[in-house]
Amino acid sequence: MRERIIMGVYRFGSWTNTRVHVPGLRQAMLAVAYALQSAVMCLLHAEVPLTASIGRNLRLPHGGHGVVIHSSSCIGDDVTIAHNVTLGAKDDGGGAPRIGDDAFLCTGAILIGPITIGEAAVVGAGAVVLQDVPPGALAVGVPARMVARDHHLCSPARGQALPCVDPVTNGPEQPRVG
């Protein structure tokens, strides 16, 4: 329910901002959109600005709680953003992250600056990403580093689990003995 409210307010505001061209009507509808956006920020704790570029079928598990998206971020289709994820720009105003289709951003991930997250890439929980993540890669850690490339993930929404990767060997995780 929360996810639908957040995305409904975003879609209404984005549509008004780009499609309504009658001057008086546009200003009135934008005022309503910004009031709704403020309510979403205060009540649902999610900041999804109307000026961000968001593709179809953005998933916000846990109702998008704590999600912050920079106003100039670009998010592709079928992306999943878990709670407490931040997409932000550097202090020098150098740009915001671009997220490719089918990407998965795990809980608490922080993506800063003009970086690109490739198609079907996964950013691990709590990772701080300061550089590009290639398509199909798995990035974890602070600062984030690639522990797997081309792991051929299907997003969890498609019914397949994420692989376990041993961060030391970059290979499949082995069962622990003893």
Please give the full DSSP string across 51-117, using - where no structure is assigned. TSEE-S--B-GGGGTT-EE-TT-EE-TT-EE-TT-EEE--TT-----EE-TT-EE-TT-EEESS-EE
Please give the angle made by the CA atoms of 35, 6 and 14, to the nearest 5 degrees: 65
Res. 74 pLDDT band, cuts 50 70 90: very high
User: How much is the pLDDT for 108?
Assistant: 93
Write the pLDDT tens digit of every residue in 109-142. Answer: 999 999 999 999 999 999 999 999 999 999 999 8
Whether residues 2 and 23 fall in one domain: yes
Same domain, 65 and 108: yes
Same domain (yes/no): 91, 141: yes
Domain identity same for 85 and 123 = yes
The verdict on 89 and 140 lying in the same domain is: yes
Query: Residue 23 pLDDT more than 50?
Result: yes
What per-residue confidence (pLDDT) applies to 146? Answer: 87
What's the CATH number where 133 sits? 2.160.10.10
Q: Are residues 62 and 113 in the same domain?
A: yes
d(C-alpha 87, C-alpha 125), whole Å = 14
Residues serving a catalytic function are 62
Q: Across the chain, how many H-helices and E-strands are there?
A: 2, 13
Provide mean pLDDT across the span 138-157.
Answer: 71
Do residues 132 and 60 both lie within one domain? yes
Q: Are residues 40 and 117 in the same domain?
A: no
> Could you tell me the residue range of the domain that residue 78 belongs to?
52-158
